Chains A and B, each alone.
Chain A
Amino acid sequence: MMQFMLLFSRQGKLRLQKWYVPLSDKEKKKITRELVQTVLARKPKMCSFLEWRDLKVVYKRYASLYFCCAIEDQDNELITLEIIHRYVELLDKYFGSVCELDIIFNFEKAYFILDEFLLGGEAQETSKKNVLKAIEQADLLQESQSEDWGSLPNEEIL
């Protein structure tokens, strides 16, 4: 089972975090800080797998973003790399040639896609088509409702 997934930039800024095991905020911060440091210190041609504390860490860099997953001892490292890859493919298809900015500005969408792809740390739907279908259906609902509410006065306080 995947323990957590982190997305961070080359500058070490966290872009997405999903924890599948209950940890305290303090622990999460500590792990994130240490892991980001460790991964960023590695050179491009190095191995994508780390043994880090008691976990196995699998990471891969796509453009300016690092995707980093922690898995358990008996889990398969290579298939985890493919999980990362499939997630990137999903983001790419959804946003249309995805870039870091898409994820920064629409991180909630990135979370929705992730939740449809992985559930509770396990891959639940690996078909690109099916994941995006589920997301788009929910999105459509959003658009339809904004349409309905379009005529309402804007009540923003600020």
Chain B
Amino acid sequence: MSDVVEKTLTALPSLLSLDSQPGSAKLSSSSKLGNLIRGITELTSKHEEEKLIQRELLLIKEQVSSPNTTMRQMKELMVRAIYCEMLGYGVSFSYIHAIKLAQQGNVLEKRVGYLAVSLFLNEGHELLLLLVNTVLKDLQSTNLIEVCMALTVVSQMFPKDMIPAILPLVEEKLNHPKEIIRRKAVLALYKFYLIAPNQVQHIHNKFRKALCDKDPGVMSASLHIYLQLIQENPEGYKDLAPSFVTILKQVVAGKLPMDFNYHSVPAPWLQIHLLRILSLLGKSDQSTSEIMYEILDESLRRAEMNHNITYAILYECVKCVYTIHPKSDLLEKAAKCIGNFVLSPKINLKYLGLKALTYVVQQDPKLALQHQMTIIECLDHPDLIIKRETLELLFRITNEQNVTVIVEKMLDFLQINKDDHTTIDLVGKVAELAEKYAPDNEWFIETMNTVFSVGGDLLQPDIPNSFLKLLSEGFDSVEEDKKLRLFAVNSYVSLLEGGPSKLPQRFLQVICWVLGEFSHLREDLEPDVVLRMLAKLLDMKSSSSETKCWVLMAMTKLCSGGAALALVQDVSETYSSSLDTMLRQRAQELQILSQDSKLQAKVLPRSASMEPVEVDSSLSFLDGFVSEALAAGAAPYKPPHQRQEELSRSKALNMEPYGLSLPIGMSSCSVTDRQSPTLLSISSGLSGDSADFSHKGSSAALKLDGVKRLWGRDGYLAKKEAAEEAPQVEAASPVRSPSQRGDTDGSVSQTPTPECDQEKQQLASSLFVGLATQSSVCLMGKSEPTSQRFRRKPKASGGSEPMSNPLASPSDGADNVLPQNLLDSSDLDVSSPEQTHGLPQDPDTPNGSCTAEEESADPMAEPSAHEDLDRSRDSCLSSHLPAELSALSHSEITSLCSNQSLDVSACHVQREDSVVLVVFVSNRSDFCLQQMRLQVQSEELEVSCASDCPSEELKSHSVAVCQYLLTVQRPSVHFDLSATVSWQLPAGSPQTAPFSYKLPLTGFIRALRLSTEEYGAMWLAYSHDTKLNLTLMDDDQDPLAATLHVLKRKLQLHVVEIIGVEAIVACCLQQDQPCLMHCRVHAGMLAVWLRSPVPDLPDCLLYHCQRALQEP
């Protein structure tokens, strides 16, 4: 290596042989360290050890600070100090001496000094600054060992701010003739990139040079940097994909020197690194993925040797195959690989097999079906880790049919699990499943009871929150809501009667809230009784003061009408003098409200918890104070997100585009948002979006060919039945009737098998039920929305369930598409891709809004490429526009729903003071439609019928036009209108079809013309505001004017005045709801401040401003 060493080597042959002797290193056992260690092992108690070490430390301390101590002795002392530190004793006094040793010692002493520094000190330790000069000196040393030591310590820890001081020297080392130096230098740069990416921003070309290094070791080291870079910005490195593929090809083909082999497998670490990089590059990128198919195939084929290291490569390959753009034969091979893992007798492989299965099961539920018996076995595995992973897998395949069994298994696990982290995670998952798929009220409440009891106070706070939200907001029907609440009340009353002292605090708080809010639903339950139960909770020693607050709040709700007045008075008196301010406050409230039932009814109206509370979130009443403070020279307030943004901008270049900021009201926090820590990199929310889903479906469809179906949709099926079952599976409806399911289950249990097996098979059929339904749905190219029992705020509650229509069987789907195409061909439009896209693909879902949304998002948009096609329909239907509207601008007429009988289209017309929705219903059948009715409704809009359809009859091939006046009730970014059309054919039963229409807020925005003075007066009066920085339009002369022009054109805003770099703009939502905007050019951005008396309006409008400026 170094010349010095080589000389030494030749000069001292005897020492060489001594050193290579086995056990020669044990010589030092006679040293002081040896004595210390032996001393410790002879001791019997922890206390004695402590005494011995303290003595030892005193000794070390005395010696290290003595001026007579040589560096050689210092080295020995440091080793002892490291040992004491490992035993858990503080040796901070020696830190400075470790640095000194690294600074002043000869090479060997330096080595120990550096080691001690790297073990003792953290990245952020201030003493590290003292090391900088030593590192600088050693980096310039002619002794290669010193350079190596300096690079090693730098790669482990270095003060961030001092990087520039040594960076040139480290960079220089990239050109060093020795491979080991170049490699360590690359790793040092990697470390710098990790702790301070902006410090090495300018040397990215050096990384490329390292990647092209002639030595594979250096190239390999540079991949660490690239993996990191690509993780952060895959788009920026797509050009390197072919190079990585070439490298991997060479590695797999064994072109690297033998040194890189590990147990005769070529460079496995390098292979795995490359596979990880490739999967990042190929993720949702078809063309890049295509480059790597061949080598992935090769890797899967080569890695067949039965050794751990090949399994490691295989596992990485499988992950890569499932991450990149899918290719059917690769997926098939990867699936086989997963199968081998799952079936392996080696427990580590089995675990990883389960993990991989969890990772892919949503893309390919069939795979889980294939291994269901193994999964069942793993569920009873003695190793909790395996069990836990199996539950994770089951969690991913839960549906409304198997939810009870899976949740039961999870709850069983929770009983034996002792690890808090797992408990929190699993409890969250149970709550999520319960909320999504609960089969009935009873089960839901009982499951949630277990969740609250088991989760205890570790529970994530959003679980009780969303549970209470669900109870209070309700879901589909009022009747069901009431039943659920009543059931909860009953359940909690019996819990409180049975001894509440064991219940966790969080659960008690939930109980208090529910009883306070809903106990009146149970008519036989007197408020007195509930009040007494609640009062008992106050007396419990275990109750926290937070719980007591909840109790008092519940009592306040219940105390109306003088119920148990004495008790209430007593309680409120007791707590009025509490030391806890919150408790005191609640007690005061209770006291006052219990005596004034009128006030109580006003403050706490019954069942009004779901009503929005008006909160002046902008604190406008403080405006006077603020302006005074500003006048006095205070810095203007910046919201946290803006501060954060500015901070990050000043720190580093932001590589990510700014996302659209959604209005606060839109971001719903729910249990489903929580992701499991074990989730691998692919996004896998349980309800994948439909586009994703159909794409996965296509891959599943490809693979089905030639695969013998031994497993039915309902889980395990005996082989002899497979043949009969399979065709039925393909044709059966996606929603199976209970009787059908029962049949299958019955037949399973009849198969003659040993009892134990039978049990497992039964479990299998209950666990995997409904799984194949999902895949068969994919086959048909449809996305079935996950049916959720407790749906929050149903969007399409048109009154009549679409599925209730006896005619709307799945075969309708196919029928519906066909006539539509026929009709299109009669219109000579059959080849239009736009048109087919616009067709509702699934008549059972309120669909058809996807094109409507795109087209209506910007009413002023230029006509698209399909101009003429749309025109033909447009001109055809627009002739039906009522005369008074035909002169006004209307959005494009979009088809919302069509079937063999009729076709519904709609557009909206902007009148000066209102927006009118015009719905065209065209009868396309040869019959006269009877009892034709339309129902339109929306949550955020008030819909009033301006002119209903002229008659309930619609003649063959004629068009009926209905108009609805739309008024905004609550601003929203987009407004969804859900509607149903119902009709009856002359000789048929009534039919309904749902459809929906979406229109943006911008349709309701009008220019507001006012003077600067008026603007000023209004500005101060409004309370709801929001601020954000927007991008300015590119315009050399006047970016502000250009930007305002775009806003004016697209959103119809009125520019009141422009003063220098500032501008004031005004608009209103239907005349009486103004929104004011203040713009200022600042640091290349447009700082926008919106104010309005209407809550949410500024946020929603800001969203549209942002979009208007982002769209070309």
Specify which chain B residues have a CB less than 8 angstroms from the CB of A96 in the assembled complex: 21-23
Contact present for B8 and A47 (CB under 8 Å): no
Output the least CB separation between A7 and chain B (Å).
10
What is the chain B residue whose CB lies nearest that of A123? Answer: B269
| Complex Cα spacing A14 to B85, Å | 11
Tell me whether A134 and B148 are in contact (CB under 8 A). Answer: yes
B517 contacts the other chain (CB 8 A): no
Q: Report whether A53 and B262 are in contact in the complex, using a CB–CB cutoff of 8 Å.
A: no
A62 at the A/B interface (Cβ < 8 Å)?
Answer: no
CB contact under 8 A between A149 and B259, given known A74-B680, A82-B268, A120-B191: no
Once the chains are docked, how many angstroms separate the CA of A120 from the CA of B351?
Answer: 28
- Please count the residue pairs between chain A and chain B whose beta carbons lie under 8 angstroms apart in the complex: 211
With A119-B156, A147-B12 in contact, do A141 and B107 touch (Cβ < 8 Å)? yes
Q: Bin chain A's interface residue count.
A: 35 or more
In the assembly, what is the distance between CA of A22 and CA of B122, in Å? Answer: 6
Q: How far is the CB of B742 from chain A (nearest CB, A)?
A: 38
The answer to whether residues A52 and B22 also contact, given A78-B315, A143-B12 and a CB cut-off of 8 A, is no
Shortest C-beta distance, B419 to chain A (Å), equals 8
Question: Measured between alpha carbons, how far is A144 from B262 in the docked complex, in Å?
Answer: 33
Interface: A63 (CB within 8 A): no
- In the bound complex, do residue A137 and residue B5 qualify as a contact, i.e. CB atoms below 8 Å apart? yes
Interface string of A103-115 (1 = CB under 8 A from B): 0111111011001
Interface residues of B in 1-28 (CB under 8 A from A): 1-2, 4-5, 8-9, 11-12, 15-16, 18-23, 25-26, 28
Q: A63-102: contact bitstring with B at CB < 8 Å (1 yes, 0 no)?
A: 0000000000110111101100110000000111100011
A contact residues around B678 at 8 Å (CB):
51, 73
Instruction: Tell me how far the C-beta of B231 lies from the nearest C-beta in chain A, rounded to whole angstroms.
Output: 9
Check A102/B152 contact, CB under 8 A, given A47-B348, A74-B276, A156-B73. no
User: In this assembly, does B375 line the interface, its C-beta being within 8 Å of a C-beta of chain A?
Assistant: no
| Chain A residues numbered 99-158 whose CB sits less than 8 Å from any CB in chain B | 101-102, 104-109, 111-112, 115, 119-120, 122-127, 129-130, 133-134, 136-145, 147, 149, 155-157
Residue of B nearest to A149 (CB): B72
Least CB separation from A132: chain B residue: B20
From 408 to 434 in chain B, residues with beta carbon under 8 angstroms from any chain A beta carbon are 419, 421-422
B101-115 to A contact mask, C-beta < 8 Å, 1/0: 000001110011001
- Report how far A78 CA is from B262 CA in the complex, Å: 14
Interface check B681, CB cutoff 8 A = yes
How would residues 200 to 228 of chain B score, 1 for a CB under 8 Å from any chain A CB and 0 otherwise? 00000000000000000100010010000
Q: Give the chain B neighbours of A122 by CB distance below 8 A.
A: 187, 190, 224
Are B311 and A14 closer than 8 Å at their CB atoms? Answer: no
Residues of A within 8 A of B1 (CB): 133-134, 137
Question: CA A34 – CA B86 in complex, angstroms?
Answer: 16
Contact A147 B15 (CB under 8 A): yes
Can you name the residue of chain A whose Cβ is closest to the Cβ of B78?
Answer: A108
Contact with B along A36-60 (1 / 0, CB 8 A): 0010001101111111111000000
Provided the pairs A82-B268, A124-B221, A137-B5 are in contact, do residues A17 and B86 lie with their beta carbons within 8 angstroms? yes
Q: Which residues of B contact A115 (CB under 8 A)?
A: 115, 118, 152, 156
Instruction: Tell whether, in the assembled complex, residue A157 and residue B63 are in contact, meaning their CB atoms are under 8 Å apart.
Output: yes
Interface string of A8-36 (1 = CB under 8 A from B): 00000011111010111100010000000
* Given A74-B680, A106-B28, A111-B108 contact (CB < 8 Å): no
Complex CA gap A79/B68 in Å reads 49
Which residues of B380-432 have CB atoms within 8 Å of chain A's CB atoms?
382-383, 385-386, 388-389, 419, 421-422
Q: A49-B348, A144-B12 are in contact. Are A106 and B26 (CB under 8 A)?
A: yes
Which residues of B, 678-710, contact A by the 8 Å Cβ criterion?
A: 678, 680-681
With known contacts A97-B22, A134-B148, A120–B348 Cβ distance under 8 A: no
Closest A residue to B34 by beta carbon equals A105
* B228: nearest chain-A partner, CB-CB: A1
Report B172-194 CB contacts with A as 1/0, cut-off 8 Å.
00000000100110010011000
Say yes or no: B152 contacts A51, CB within 8 Å. no
Q: How far is the CA of A144 from the CA of B191 in the complex (A)?
A: 34
> A79 touching B37 by the CB < 8 A rule?
no
What is the CB-to-nearest-CB distance from A50 to chain B, in angstroms, rounded to a whole number?
A: 6
Tell me the chain B residues, 139-155 only, with Cβ under 8 Å from chain A: 145, 148, 152, 155
Residue of B nearest to A148 (CB): B106
* A105 pairs with B217, CB closer than 8 A: no
- In the complex formed, the residue of A with least CB distance to B59 is A158
Contact (Cβ within 8 A) A143 B312: no
CA distance A144 to B8 in the complex (A): 7
A141 contact from B33, B108, B388, Cβ within 8 A: B108
CB-defined contacts of B308 to chain A, threshold 8 Å: 78, 81-82, 85
Q: In the complex, are the beta carbons of B224 and A143 less than 8 A apart? A: no
A20→B122 CA distance, assembly (Å):
10
> With the chains together, A79 CA to B108 CA distance in Å?
33
| Min CB gap B847→A, angstroms | 37
Q: What residues on B are CB-neighbors of A43 within 8 Å? A: 382-383
A20 to B152, CA, bound (A): 13
B123 within 8 A of A: yes
Q: Is the CB of A125 within 8 A of B23?
A: no
In the complex, the chain B residue whose C-beta lies closest to that of A134 is: B180
- Min C-beta distance of A41 to chain B, whole Å: 10
Q: Please tell me if the beta carbons of A82 and B312 are within 8 angstroms of each other in the complex.
A: yes
Given contacts A22-B123, A78-B348, contact A94 B385 (CB under 8 A): no
Decide yes or no: A78 and B311 within 8 Å by CB, A23-B122, A102-B25, A138-B145 being known contacts. yes
Bound together, the chains give a CA A23 to CA B8 distance in angstroms of 41
Cross-interface CB contact of A124 among B25, B183, B347, cutoff 8 Å = B183
Which B residue's beta carbon lies closest to that of A136? B19
A22 CA / B123 CA spacing, docked (Å): 6
Question: Is the CB–CB distance between A105 and B37 below 8 Å?
Answer: yes
For A140, list chain B residues within 8 Å (CB): 5, 8-9, 12, 15-16, 19
In chain B, what residue has the closest Cβ to A57? Answer: B385
Closest to A85 in B: B308
Q: Which residues of B contact A145 (CB under 8 A)?
A: 106-108
* B25 and A82 within 8 A (CB): no
Q: A74–B681 contact, CB under 8 A?
A: yes
Question: Could you say which of A45, A52, A119, A130 contacts B347, with CB atoms under 8 Å apart?
Answer: A45
**Contact of B112 with A108 in the complex, beta carbons under 8 Å:** yes
State the CA gap A115–B153 with chains docked (Å): 9
- Complex contacts, A94 vs chain B, CB 8 Å: 25
The CA of A79 and the CA of B385, in the complex, are separated in Å by: 19
Residue among A104, A108, A134 with the most chain B CB within 10 A?
Answer: A108
Chain B residues whose CB sits within 8 angstroms of the CB of A86 once the complex forms:
262
15 more CB-based (< 8 A) A-B contacts, given A47-B347, A50-B385: A22-B157, A46-B382, A47-B385, A73-B680, A97-B22, A102-B25, A104-B37, A105-B34, A106-B28, A126-B262, A127-B259, A138-B107, A141-B108, A144-B8, A157-B68
Which 8 pairs of residues, A with B, have the shortest CB-CB distance? A96-B22, A78-B312, A127-B259, A79-B312, A22-B123, A46-B383, A22-B122, A105-B29
Query: Can you give 30 contacting A-B residue pairs, CB < 8 Å?
Result: A14-B86, A22-B122, A25-B90, A51-B388, A51-B678, A52-B419, A73-B677, A73-B680, A76-B312, A79-B272, A79-B309, A82-B262, A86-B262, A94-B25, A106-B26, A107-B83, A108-B79, A112-B111, A119-B156, A134-B148, A137-B5, A138-B107, A138-B108, A138-B111, A140-B15, A143-B15, A144-B15, A155-B68, A157-B68, A157-B73
Instruction: Report A's interface with B, CB cutoff 8 A.
Output: 14-18, 20, 22-25, 29, 38, 42-43, 45-54, 73-74, 76-79, 81-82, 85-86, 94-97, 101-102, 104-109, 111-112, 115, 119-120, 122-127, 129-130, 133-134, 136-145, 147, 149, 155-157
Show the binding face of B for A, using Cβ within 8 Å.
1-2, 4-5, 8-9, 11-12, 15-16, 18-23, 25-26, 28-29, 33-34, 37, 63, 66, 68-70, 72-73, 79, 82-83, 86-88, 90, 106-108, 111-112, 115, 118-119, 122-124, 145, 148, 152, 155-157, 180, 183-184, 187, 190-191, 217, 221, 224, 259-260, 262, 267-269, 272, 276, 308-309, 311-312, 315-316, 347-348, 350-352, 382-383, 385-386, 388-389, 419, 421-422, 677-678, 680-681
